[in-house]
Amino acid sequence: MANIVVIDDEEDIRLILKEVLEQEGHTVTTSENGKELNINNLSNFDLVITDIFMPDQDGMQIIMEVKKTVPDMKIIAISGGAFFGAGNTLKTAQLLGARFTINKPFDIDDVVEKVNTLVNEN
């Protein structure tokens, strides 16, 4: 139903989310660092799910750039927490544009619920 892109440096997370969401009937594209996303193809997606703490590209930056490019893009932010303490990471992500935030380790039902909520919005 919806075109979703999942960005996370951990392969397991990507696989799980892809499995789960595809079972829900969505089309899922996965990316390790979001590099494949650009101005042209971003508008193809309905929902962006991104991890925050990643070695290659910063998830926070991805959120900001997505917002800049496609302002009404729906974004869900995932975070596993930080080595030095999460601080206000998820809160910041929300203020910057993530509609929902999810903590790792996540509850699959929770993820599905949030995704469906956003997707069914219009």
Distance (Å, whole) CA 90 – CA 79: 7
Query: Which residue type is seen at 15?
Result: L
Segment near other proteins (CB under 8 A), from 17-25, 83-91, 101-109, 113-121? 83-91
Segment near other proteins (CB under 8 A), from 10-18, 22-30, 51-59, 108-116? 51-59
Is 45 a residue that touches other proteins (CB under 8 A)? Answer: no
Which residues on neighbouring strands pair with residue 83, listed in sequence order? none
Q: At its nearest, how many Å lie between other proteins and the CB of residue 50?
A: 12
Q: Is the Cβ of residue 77 or residue 115 nearer to other proteins in the bound state?
A: 77
Is 70 a residue that touches other proteins (CB under 8 A)? Answer: no
3-state secondary structure of 111: helix
Distance (Å, whole) CA 43 – CA 53: 24
The answer to whether 26 and 115 are in contact (CB under 8 A) is: yes
Query: Which residue type is seen at 67?
Result: K
3-state secondary structure of 53: coil
Q: At its nearest, how many Å lie between other proteins and the CB of residue 114?
A: 21
Residues 18-37 that bind other proteins (CB under 8 A): none
- Give the interface with other proteins as residue ranges (CB under 8 A): 40, 52-55, 58-61, 63-64, 82-84, 87-89, 92-93, 95-96
